[in-house]
Each structure stands twice: as structure tokens, then as C-alpha cells.
Amino acid sequence: MAKKKVFVISHSHWDREWYMPFEKHHLRLVKLMDEVLDLIDTDPKFNSFQLDGQAIIIDDYLAVRPENKDRVAKAIKNGKLRVGPFYVLQDDFLISPESHVKDFQIGRQTAEKYGQMMGIGYFPDTFGNMGQTPQMLRLAGLDAVAFGRGVKPTGLNNQVSESAFESSFSEMNWIGPDQSQVLGILFANWYSNGNEIPVDRQEAKQYWTEKLADVEKYASTDNLLMMNGVDHQPVQKDVTKALEVAQELFPDYEFIHSNFDDYLAAVKADLPKNLSTINGELTSQETDGWYTLTNTASSRIYLKQKNAEVQRKLINEATQLAAVALPKAEYPHDQLTYAWKLLLENHIHDSITGCSVDEVHREMMTRFEKVEAVAESIRDDAQTALADQVKTDQFPEGSQPFIVINPSDTAKTGVITAEVELERALFKDGRPDAQFAKMQLIAQQNRHYAVIAADGRQVVGRVTGYTTRFGADLPEDRFRVPYIGVYAQVEVYVKDLPAFSWQALALQQLTTPKMYADQTAESLISDGRILENNLLKVEISAVDGSLTILDKKTNHTYHRMAVYEDTGDMGNEYIYKETADQKRIYSTDQAPTIHIKEDSAKRGVIEVVSTLQIPRQATPQLDYEQRAVIDITHRQATRSQETVALTLHTFITLEADSSALKFDVAYDNQALDHRLRVLFPTELETTTNEAESVFEVVQRPNVPEKYWENPTNPQRQQAFVNLHDEKVGVTLANDGLPEYEILSKDGTIALTMLRCVGELGDWGYFLTPEAQCQGAQHASFALIFHDETTADRFQSYQVARTLYLPILTVTTSRHQGTRSTEGTWLEVNADEQAFAVTGIERDQANDLIVRGYNLDSQAHNIDVQVADQKGELVDFQSQHLSETTAPLKAAEIRNYRFK
């Protein structure tokens, strides 16, 4: 009989920043890498060290020891260091699909700069696994994945529990919603099951007896995987010696110091036919529900909000516009890769999740700002280039042209704001204060403008005000040119502004003096608290501030919508745990005050001010429970008797012809240890909800499995969550608020706006005062209603996905152009609007790439064209897959390439 083989893989799970700031972990990493390189040089039997699936370790090490670049390169080339497939060990659910693609691309680039990439997807520590993992791995050229969580058994510290196992083996077939399949390898005994192997014979005997039994319990083949390492574990220098001892003690086994590539080859050759199959996302739904770590989605909400904003700027604005507007040769590959590397540092599973110490998250905010600055620079250059290409010389002399750009994949309807430069006075022509006075004079004139299109027809719009301020041009070939400019603030109403489009408009001064203009008879507001357009009628209760909403399309009325709920939280950055008193405070407890903020023909804004008297903080019991490191399931703290006012200013916006009802909330949080949510009791009777995940609209049950003990069952979303029955439905869009929960009472969608906790949690006592999120806060979300058709539901999804991506505007001159006055750079026509575009970029060969996914679990006809070209399908590395004539498959992710 062939011997069982024990594959021992040396590694260290390297949380780059977590319970210490980045640099403290970093210096330990340098020490680890020094030791690994020495060991490679001195122990020929040491097969290799696995760099935790994240190539960033190379960059981090060489930042301190650049002189070791050749040693590192040689080690990778010789297979002694195993690098990739990712650039960072990301969080799965809280980052955009494009971030995942960049993590694959940059991980591979970094590894292949030196040698071969490790050939396995690696998710040792992600807090659950996204459903599209199999398809994404296939598109990244991988057919297997190792992961640590999501499938039972997953308990405290992922120890194997006695209850039933979802897969009979640690190896399983994992199938995604599109039917892509990969080999899944679960760290059933965690990624530390071969850590600290004794050399002492007596200890070794006991160690192996136990560890071999554990691994054999789950292994489907005679190839046993032992992971020699754990979180931030120094390399075991005598591991090959320890394996020699093991070999003597257990001659029936073959002990091999190895690596994932060799282990995988051996396992694949021996796989039995009866492997279990697991499907879609893996989020530990068959556990007691306490340690899914899903509440990291609401820890430090400010990070998630900033991330949403920065991702839009980098992906939808900078990258896309650079790809379509700049000459191919000027596409800023290196600058974008630089920005992505920085952003990916924030997308690591202890970073964007908000579950580290304060220093870590402070540094993250600086990184976000850096990425934002790079993105804004690239976007500004690209949109200026686009504006220069658009023909504007048909506008009358004296008019001031400007370009509006819709970078989203959805037609837009609503009021957009533009700042149009009217005139500038250069410092070289006069003293700054004199130039300022000159421009101020223009702002003070009672000018009267019309907004016109290229054919001369007037469009609905108005100038709402003027600003005078300093500016400076930074020419590429000369010294800076400072000036004072005067700008008109312009509102333009657009109806169905096409996806991926530009349009030239102009401000034209009229000779007729401005009358008490813009006072139209039209209004969307009545009785001071009713907003109404042709699609919706929204009544705000003067008694409790809740909304009654009539969806005119379906004639369905929703009641008591948008109620705020505040509860105590004695948990930590990972886990929400309601205080033992279960004291809950609602906005409906007191009457609101209601003001009209804007009342124009095309937009109505009403402010609702609700005051909740909430406990100031948890009782001192919580302080004791934290210091004594008492597990959250055993805590007994309550909330204080002392209260503070939580005053929520909700600005509710309805625009003409728009199906979206928008909410922007501003408030000052002065309370600790609590959670704030907004509730939408839809009263729809459904058993499932749909939410946007990564490259997927995932359907999830509203009620958890029978094993579930946690009284809450939060879930994660990208842009939206939806509840619908056979007749009507509600899509709730959000701007960087990734945590929701479906409450069975009244079919309520609960959206978390803020969660305030004072400690990190997990394995020790780490205070995190900044996770209490004190001071000014904001939240934006919107309701979009749909009828019984799939097309209308998908329309609501598309609106939700692009709701917070603004229309861009740029002032330009009158000039000839290679582009007509209006047009589109991309045409996407899919049945039922089922295709969502996630990113547009140029690949290494400067070909245009359009990436997106099917919102539906059904196939659809689709046609994607750039300048009448149909393109071809490629993978994440831009390798040809097929032609594009085939229908879009269920849940398919597509990368179109246009030469």
C-alpha cells in the first residue's frame, strides 16, 4: 500500500496592520523575511516559504531592505518563495468588483516580475467568501482555492465542532452561480494545523498522533495538508529537522516539506468521485451566527463611505475617462497602478473592515486622500481632453460652452449642477485685489442667462448664483498662471441623459433684464410636507416624521417608512451585541419639525428634523467586561440613564420624472456604545431578498437556518438590497452603507447608518476610541420602487448602482472638434437591462476593456459596441476566450476587448 503523504507548507499569515499600527507589524515582517532568506540559503532541504497569498509582502520588505532585491528575486525564481496570486489579502464583500480584479492583476504582475506565481486562490482569513469566487478564479487562470471560513464548521477560532459538516471532506467542489467550478480546500483545522512542530522525539510523537488524526478526519485523499505557521508566526527554522524526526517515528507516512503547487498536483491526481458540492457564497449561515464577523460591515462607517467615494472617482471617473478620452499612448498605466496599490492597502481584510486599532484607520484615511488626489488629477486631465475634442463652434459668439458627461451605465434624469467659468482676470494684467474687484462686479450685475443646446434650442436650466475666487493654470511648458475667475452656478434639468455620454451645452446671456425669474407656478411640494411627481407621492407625517409613499406606477402604498432606530451595542468592531436592557429608541417617539429647503419646478427638498433622546453610553459594567476580555455572548452591560439628544436632519429630495426618493441625513453623534439604523417596513410577504454582491445579485433567505442563535442576521451589500413580491418591489440604494438586515416583522429592511464601539475585540483587549465615531456624521440612501416586471426591477438596480455617481461638467471654449456635440463612447444593449458595467479601462496593450456582469440568473441577449465594433471576450489577463455572439449566460462576468 502506498504511504500517506504529509505535505508541510511553511508560511505566516501576515495581517499587514491590525492590533498594532502598520509599521510595528512591518518591522516584524522585515525580521521574518530576513530569517526566511537566511534559512533558504542555509538549509537545502527547506522546500519553500509561502508568502501568504499576497505579493505586497515583497514590496513591504524591499522598502526597508532594497539591497536584498536580488536575493528575493533569486528565491522566487527558484521556487523558494511562493508569491501571489493576490497583491493583498482582501476583504471579499466590502470592496468593489474592480478592486478584486486589480488585486488579481497586480498580484500576478508583481509575482511574475520575479518568477512564477503560486497557482491557487488563497482566502485563509476572509470573513466569509463571495459567491462568484469560482468564476473569478477561472477568469484569473486558477482552478483551485484554499479558504478558512464560510463553510461549517466555523466557530470560535474556527475550531472543529461536533455538529454536522457541510462537506464530507476538507476538499470539495465549489460551484458559482454561473456553474463555474473550482476545487475548494477548506482549512478544516485552520491554517495553523502544522504549526510549531516539535523536534523532541517524545513531544513529536504526541504532536503527530494528534495532528495526523485531525487532518485525516477530513482529508479525501492520502495527501495530507499541514500548514506550518499562523498569524504573524516567525518561520520555524528547524522544520526540516522536525520532519526527519517525524519520518523516523511514523514510517508509514511520507513527510514532505512542500508548497501548494506540489500539494495541489498530488491531490488533484487522487480526488475521489464522491466529493461534496458547495454552491455560491459561503457566509457561515449554518452556524450559531455569532462569529460570522459580518458586523465589520458597520464598524467605522466613515471608512466605507470614503471608500465608496474614492472607488467611484478612481474607477468610473479617472480610469474610464482616461481610457476613452486620452490618446492611447497617454493612458496613465503606471499612475493608475500606483493608485490601485495604495487603495488595495486599504482593502485588506483587517483594514476596510474597520477592525483594527485607531492608528491603522487614521493612516487609511490619508491613503484614501492620496488615491483621491491621483484620481482627480487623471480625471481632470481626461475630461479636459474630452471637452477639447467636442465640437462647440456652432454655439453663438459670446456664449459660454460647457460639457456634461454621464460616466455611468444608466441614463440619468434629474437636476444636475455645473459650475461654468464666465471670465477670468490674470494676475499679470493687474493687481490681484483689482482683478478680484473686476470679477466681483460681473457677479453683481443682474445678468440673465439661458442654457442652450448646440442646435440653439433652450433647455431647462437656470443660474442660481455666482462665485468669485482665485485659480491657477499649471501649463505643461510654462510657469503657473494665477487669476481670479468668476463662475456661474448652473442647474440643468436632464431627462434620460444617455449612459456613457457627453453633451455640449452653453450659457447664453440674454439682453432682456432678469425679472423675478425662475418663480414658476410648478412645484413638487404641497402642504409643506407632501412631495409629488408623476411617479411618486410622499407624505411626511407631522406627528412622527414617518413617510407614507404612493408608488403611482403600481398604485401601491407603503406606510411608516424611514423610521430611525437606536439600540445599545456592547460588542466590538467585529460583532454587534445589543445591551442587555434592550432599550430601543425610535424617531417616531417625538414629533418632528419640517421645513421646505428647495421648491423649484424640477426639484423639491424637505428637511425633517427628528430628535431622539438616547442613553449617553453603556454602564461601567461594559468597561469591566472589556478589560476582563469577557466574550460578547456572556456580557451583561446595559445603557446609562443619562441621555443625550441625537438630532437627525433628514433632507428628502424628489425630482421631476424620477423614480428615486433620496435621503441625505446629517447629525452630530455625541453618544457611545450604540447603533443607529433606518427602517423601511415594506409589509411585503417574501421569503428571500436580493442584494448586490461582488459581480452578482445574490438571493438570500430572510430567515436564518435553525442553528442560528444570534438574534440578528446582518448581511453585506454593495449598492442595493431589494424586497419584492409578485406585484411590487422596493430597492434600497446606499452610498457606502454596506450592512443591512431583513426583519421578519413587516418585511422590514433595516439599514445600518452608524455603529459605535470602544474596542477591537477578537483575542485581547485593544481600545479603539475612534470607533465610537463621535462628531459630525452623514448618511445617504434612496428608495426606488418597481412593478412586477423583471425589466423594471433591473432598472431599479441600475439606478441604484449609479445613483451616487455624479454627472461631470467642464467649462470649455468655442472650438472645432473631432467629436460631435453629443454622443456616447459605449453602447450596451442587454435584454431587461440585465448587464451592469463595473469598469472600463485599457489593458497593457492599450486595448479597451469593458467589464461587467449579468444581474440575472437567466441568460439574456446582449450587444456591446464601441464605435460599431463588437469586440471579443477575454479573461482578467486580457487573454482571448471567445467571440461575443453568444448570449450572456446566467450570472456571467464578461470582459470585452476592443482592439
The set of catalytic residues is: 125
Q: Return the closest-CA partner of residue 51 out of 251, 229, 280.
A: 229
Helix axes 358-389, 301-311, angle to 10 degrees: 20
Residue written as cell 492599450? 846
In angstroms, the Cα distances linking 130 to 354, 504, 720, 801 are 19, 42, 16, 19
| Site of grid cell 429608541 | 585
- Side-chain half-sphere exposure of 569, counting CA atoms within 13 A: 29
**Residues 761 and 299 sit within 8 Å (Cβ to Cβ):** no
Least distance CB 14 / Zn ion (angstroms) = 8
Closest separation between CB of residue 237 and Zn ion, Å?
23
Least separation in angstroms between CB 346 and Zn ion = 15
Of the candidates 298, 311, 308, 314, which has an alpha carbon nearest to the alpha carbon of residue 353?
298
CB-nearer residue toward Zn ion: 15 or 92:
15
For the record, the C-alpha cell of 800 comes out as 441604484
Binding residues (CB under 5 A) for Zn ion: these are 15, 125
- Tell me which residue has cell 501649463: 475
What's the CA gap between 410 and 797, in Å, rounded?
A: 10
Nearer to Zn ion (CB atom), residue 124 or residue 461: 124
Cβ proximity to Zn ion: between 356 and 400 the closer is 356
CB 13 to Zn ion: min, Å = 6
Handedness of CA 140, 144, 148, 152 (dihedral sign): positive
Contact status, residue 871 vs residue 880, Cβ threshold 8 Å: no
Q: Which three cell numbers stand for residue 266?
A: 498530488
To the nearest whole angstrom, how small is the minimum distance from the Cβ of residue 160 to Zn ion? Answer: 19
- Residue among 282 and 654 whose Cβ is closer to Zn ion: 282
The 10 Å CB-count burial string (b at 16+, else e) for 256-293 is: bbbbbbbbbebbeeeeeeebbebebbbbbbbbbbbbbb
Pull the grid cell for residue 853.
Answer: 456582469
Residue 18 or 797 with smaller CB distance to Zn ion: 18
Whether 173 contacts 191, CB under 8 Å: no
Beta partners for residue 147, in sequence order: 123, 186
Residue type, position 109, single letter: Q
- Closest approach, Cβ 231 to Zn ion, in A, equals 6
Give the residue at shortest CB distance from Zn ion: 125
Give the shortest CB-82-to-Zn ion separation in angstroms. Answer: 18
Are the C-beta atoms of 255 and 241 separated by less than 8 Å? no
Minimum gap (Å) between residue 188 Cβ and Zn ion: 18
Kindly give the pairing relationship between strand 501-509 and strand 525-526: unpaired
Note if the bond before 97 is cis, omega within 30 degrees. no
Neighbours of 770 (CB within 10 A): 16
* Residue indicated by cell numbers 506540489: 262
- Residue 159, beta-bridge partner list: none
CA distances from 223 to 2, 4, 613 (A): 11, 6, 61
**DSSP SS3 for 324:** helix
Question: Is the CB of residue 90 less than 8 Å from the CB of residue 130?
Answer: no
Task: Rank residues 228 and 503 by Cβ distance to Zn ion and give the closer one.
Answer: 228
Contact 733, 720 (CB under 8 A): yes
Length of the chain: 899
Could you give the C-alpha distances from 801 to 32, 409, 480, 499, 736, in angstroms and in order?
43, 9, 39, 13, 11
Q: Which is nearer to Zn ion, 54 or 307 (CB)?
A: 54
**DSSP code for 316:** I
Closest by CA position to 894, among listed 837, 811, 833: 837
Reading the block at residue 384, the C-alpha cell is 479636459
Contact present, 281 and 147 (Cβ < 8 Å): no
Task: Region of 285 please: left (phi>0), alpha (psi -120 to 50) or beta.
Answer: alpha
CA–CA distance, 691 with 740 (Å, rounded to integer): 10
Q: Which triple of cell numbers denotes residue 258?
A: 512542500
Is residue 197 within 8 Å of residue 180, measured between CB atoms?
Answer: no
Exposure letters 814-827 (e unless 16+ CB within 10 A, then b): beebebebbebbbe
| Residue placing its CB nearer to Zn ion in the complex, 52 or 317 | 52
Closest among 713, 681, 718, 739 to 564, alpha carbons compared:
681
The vertex-161 CA angle with 160 and 164, nearest 5°, equals: 110
